Amino acid sequence: MTRSVSVLMGSTSDESVMKAAVETLRGLGVECEMRVLSAHRTPDALREWVSESSKRGVKVFICGAGGAAHLAGAVAALTTCPVIGVPLVAPNAIAGGLDALLSTVQMPRGIPVATVAVGEAGAANAGILAAEILATGDEELAGRLRMMREGMAAKVLAG
Ligand code: RP5
């Protein structure tokens, strides 16, 4: 199966949160690749990974980073594929991840990053959003997304 989503994170310390994106995608039957690459610590490797991504079948990127969270923006600068940014809470986070939220969301006009909520809920939502983007051209995946919504509604209504 093609790995149509590339899940990237700035540090191995982000992995415990970002695995929510991977698990969500897999639950929806979407294969993904996962890699630790940093906008600041490994800029050359990041550029190479993104520039080779279309050969691997990647159509959407999910990027999680904390602190001066430039990963999603750096990826967005290198591709016209949709990029979803997940702001994370770094060990030295300011205001519970507000630093990463602003670093991720405040992109200059012309280079968008679709920014989700801070932390694990954001990582899970990034997985859903990536699947929704892919589902615009995949009716079976759209059906699985509808089923997921119906399951959520049933749980709420069951009290
Ligand atoms: C960011 O700095 C990473 O995404 C991580 O959230 C944070 C801390 O990284 P480590 O110092 O733990 O590697 O670049």
Q: Is 70 a residue whose pLDDT tops 70?
A: yes
Q: In degrees, to the nearest 5, what angle opens at C-alpha 69 toward C-alphas 65 and 71?
A: 70
Look over the chain and give the mean of its residue pLDDT values, rounded to a whole number: 97
Whole-angstrom CA distances from 59 to 4, 23, 31, 90 are 5, 18, 11, 28
Residues with Cβ within 8 Å of residue 117, at least 6 apart in sequence: 87, 125
Nearest CA to ligand 1 atom 13: 11
Between residues 159 and 24, the one the model is more confident about: 24
For residues 11 and 138, what is the distance between their CA atoms, to the nearest angstrom? 32
8-29 per-position pLDDT tens digit: 999 999 999 999 999 999 999 9
Q: Ligand 1 centre from 98 Cα, in Å?
A: 15
Find where tokens 């079948």 sit.
57
Q: Token digits for 51?
A: 């520039």
Q: Is 13 in the pocket of ligand 1 (CB under 6 A)?
A: yes
Q: Ligand 1 centre from 125 Cα, in Å?
A: 21
Q: Token digits for 22?
A: 């991977």
Q: Is 2 a residue whose pLDDT tops 90?
A: no
Query: For residue 1, what pLDDT is reported?
Result: 54
73-122 per-position pLDDT tens digit: 999 999 999 999 999 999 999 999 999 999 999 999 999 999 999 999 99
Nearest CA to ligand 1 atom 8: 90
